[in-house]
Amino acid sequence: MTHKVESEGAKAQHRAEKTSHPTKYEYCGSLISLQPHNDSWFVAQGRTVLRTGRNGFIPDGSPYGLFVCETRLLSKYEMRIDGKELLPVALSNVNQHSWAGYYVMLPPGADPGPADKGSGDVQAYSENTLEVRITRTAADGIHEDIDIVNYSLESTSFELQFYFDADFASVTEADSNRRRTSRSKKERWSNEPLQKPQLIFHCKQSHKYKNQGEKGQAEIDRGLKIAITAKDCAPRYGKERISIPIKLNPGASWHACLDFVPWIEEWAFSHEYLCYAFHEERSRFTRLRDESLQKATHFASPAERHLRSVVTNCIRQATRDLVALRQRSLLVFKDRRAVEPGHRQQATGGKFRPRQLHGDPGLAA
């Protein structure tokens, strides 16, 4: 009686052939990821969660906002240039706690030039571009860097406008868009000589309660400070917006920082991020996260040392995409081959090749 012994190499090859099966193991190593909230962006860390629309901002009356300790401290955030909305080009999370957005528009006052006489798809801002880059980092609040660059050949002057509002709604109230309790707020603009220009939203209320034998007085004292840091500018506040006049020569740039610093009753929030914190993090959250990851249990495999699995998964995904793209043509080819009575086959080197079809000549190759 003989026993067939399979070597380790043969076993590995058998497993590789099994997992690379294109149909039975369709979703093995798939690059598809689920996005439960595909209508918004999330930037979160600690007790701070910023949820925006797909354009990177918070429209009025939406369920989005800046939430700290499950309270919406910012219910509206829009940025415009001379009253016009920015055109989003590329927006994405970089980490769970960081985000970057790239916007363009035609510089105000610039000559759009002659219209595209070819395809008509070339827009004026593709040749004369005012670029706006926004990067955000979450910690105890949100730090935002704004960079505006004039890539046109003409000087431009415009007014950068910010629209803010707060309603101090709970997460449930924000999602349902129904307020259970009306909360009064105070709004104050401060532009002292030795301080940063800042807009402050403040909500302080108290009420007596009696519930299941317990009674007392509950209080809330919550607010948000929006501080602006920018050189050679004079922000103005009026008509529920902050306006900053800016003038840029060809190739010139302008930079500003927005710091959204919250306070929630006894919670002490220490905002530590400085300019360009997106590129180099130095906050206590970064230190705590690195220490926790070093101490936490982790898992590793030999395949992580190279990109072999990434490459093979990309090839498999490309094969699935190609099949999905040409399924209609494949069905037509299969149906014609089965039904056409005059279907001919040409012998070539012992192999048969079907006649080319008029619908898709490339299928017969």
Provide the 10 A C-beta neighbour count for residue 4.
4
Q: What digits encode the pLDDT tens for the residues 103-158?
A: 999 999 888 777 766 676 767 777 789 999 999 998 889 999 999 999 999 999 99
* 301-354 confidence digits (pLDDT tens): 676 667 777 777 788 778 777 777 665 666 665 666 555 555 444 444 444 444
**Amino acid identity for residue 316 in this structure:** R
Per-residue pLDDT tens digits for 261-296: 999 987 777 766 677 776 666 677 777 777 887 888
Phi, psi dihedrals of residue 176, rounded to the nearest 5°: -85, -10
How far apart, in whole angstroms, are the C-alpha atoms of residue 230 and residue 258? 9
Structure confidence at residue 24 as a pLDDT band (50, 70, 90):
very low
Predicted local distance difference test score (pLDDT) of residue 286: 76
Alpha-carbon dihedral sign for residues 189, 194, 196, 201 = negative
* Predicted model pTM: 0.73
Predicted confidence at residue 224, as pLDDT, reads 95
Higher pLDDT, 259 or 113: 259
Contact 134, 128 (CB under 8 A): no
Whether the per-residue pLDDT at 199 is higher than 90: the answer is yes
Identity of the amino acid at 358: H
Sign, CA dihedral 13-15-20-23, equals: positive
75, 59 Cβ separation under 8 angstroms: no
Residue-level pLDDT at 23: 47
Distance CA 276, CA 123 (A): 31
pLDDT digits (tens, 9 = 90+) for 211-250: 888 888 888 899 999 999 988 788 999 888 999 999 999 9
Please state, in angstroms and rounded to a whole number, the distance separating the CA atoms of residues 140 and 272.
8
Domain architecture of the chain: domains with CATH: 40-113+124-205+219-280 (2.70.98.40), 308-340+353-365 (no CATH)
Q: Give Cα separations from 47 to 43, 65, 265 (angstroms).
A: 11, 14, 14
CA angle 351, 352, 358 (to 5 degrees): 145
- Is residue 361 scored above 50 in pLDDT? no
In this model, does residue 20 exceed pLDDT 50? Answer: no
Q: What is the largest CA-CA distance in the chain?
A: 97
